[in-house]
Amino acid sequence: MTSVFKFRAATEDHDIDALVQGYLWFSKLKDLNDPFEGGYYLDDQASKELLFKYHANVLAKKPLRSMSPDEEVVDMYIDKEMVSPGGYEQWLKQLTMEEIDEELSKLRDVYSIFSCSLSKEDHPTLPAPLNSMSMWGYYANGLKGFCIEYDLEVLMQSLNETNDYFESARVAYTKQDTAPTIVLEDVLNDAINGTVDTHKNYLRAIMTKCDNPWHHENEMRIIGECRDGEFKHSLNAIKAIYIGGKMENHKQEQIKGFALKNSIPTFRVFHSIRDKAYGFKFELLKPKSKLV
C-alpha cells in the first residue's frame, strides 16, 4: 500500500472541514504556489518542407482564396519572402508558435491538481515527509496544523467511483537549465496527422518541477481533466492523522473526535528545543476511557 501525505495549516475552516467531510480540493495550475507551473521550452527547429505541408493542411481546412492550398502556399511563400523579415519560414514559425502558446494556455485551464507528498522510505509509523521540518513549517503552519496520511490506492478508487477521470503521477524534478521541451515538429505533425504528442508532452511539463527548491516535497499529484473545487472520497482512504503539537486545543479536540468516531489512528507531533539533535517525536493518542 502506497501512502501519500497532505499537510494542512488549519488556519482556514475548510482545512478541517475537508478532513471531516471527506473531500479533496483540486486547484488549477495558475493557482498553485510555483510561478513556473506548466513551464516549457519550445524547440522551434522544423524543416521548410514540414512547414509547407502544415500550411497547406491548414489552408485545406480553411481556404483563404479561390485557389488550391498548394497554390496558396506558393503564393504566400513568394509574398512573405519579399516583404517579411526572415522570409516565409520565419513568418510561419512565428505564427505557429503564437498558436501553440494559445493552445497550451487553454490546457492550463483544462486540468486541476491535488498535490501531496509521497513516502520516501518504508517505515511503520514515521515516513520521511513527517520528519520534514520544511513541510511542517511551510504547509502546516509551524506545527499549528496537521497532516493526513492517505492510502493512495483506496483514495484513487473512491475518487474514480463517481468521477472516473483522475490519475496519479509522481512529479519529476529537473535542473534549472533542463525545462520540459515542446517540439515544434511534433506540433506540426499533430496538426497534419491528428496525433497527440504535443498534448502528452505538455502533460509531462505539468508533472515536472525545478529541483531547487521543490525536491524536498517529493510530490505526488492527482490530476483530472475537470473543474477546480471539491471532490469527495471515502473516509476509508485515511490511514492516520498527525496533529501538530502547537495546534489550538479546540481544533485538536475537533480532529480527535472525528478520528475516534471513524477509528483512525491519531498521533501528536512535537519537538524539544533541548534535544541534541533536531527532529520530531510522535505520540499515539489513545482514546480517553470512560469512567464507570
pTM of the model: 0.84
Least confident of 48-62, 138-152, 228-242: 48-62
Spatial contact of 171 and 80, defined as CB atoms under 8 Å apart: no
C-alpha 152/C-alpha 154 separation (Å) is 6
Instruction: Pick 48 or 76 by higher pLDDT.
Output: 48
Q: Please report where in the chains the cell 524536498 appears, as a residue.
A: 216
Whether residue 152 is predicted with pLDDT greater than 60 in this model: the reply is: yes
Q: What percent of the chain clears pLDDT 90, i.e. is strictly above it?
A: 42
Phi, psi values for residue 232, rounded to 5°: -75, 150
The confidence band for 291, taking pLDDT boundaries of 50, 70 and 90, is very low
- Packing angle between helix 48-61 and helix 69-83, nearest 10 degrees? 120
| pLDDT tens string 29-55 | 888 888 888 888 889 888 888 888 887
State residue 81's pLDDT score: 66
Give how far Cα 253 sits from Cα of 112, 130, 239, 243, Å: 32, 21, 19, 10
Which pairing describes strands 266-270 and 238-244: parallel, antiparallel, or unpaired?
Answer: parallel
Mean pLDDT in residue range 93-101: 81
| pLDDT tens string 167-201 | 999 998 888 888 899 998 998 899 889 899 988 89
Tell me the HSE value of 89 on the side-chain side, using a 13 A CA sphere. 9
Mean pLDDT in residue range 215-237: 92
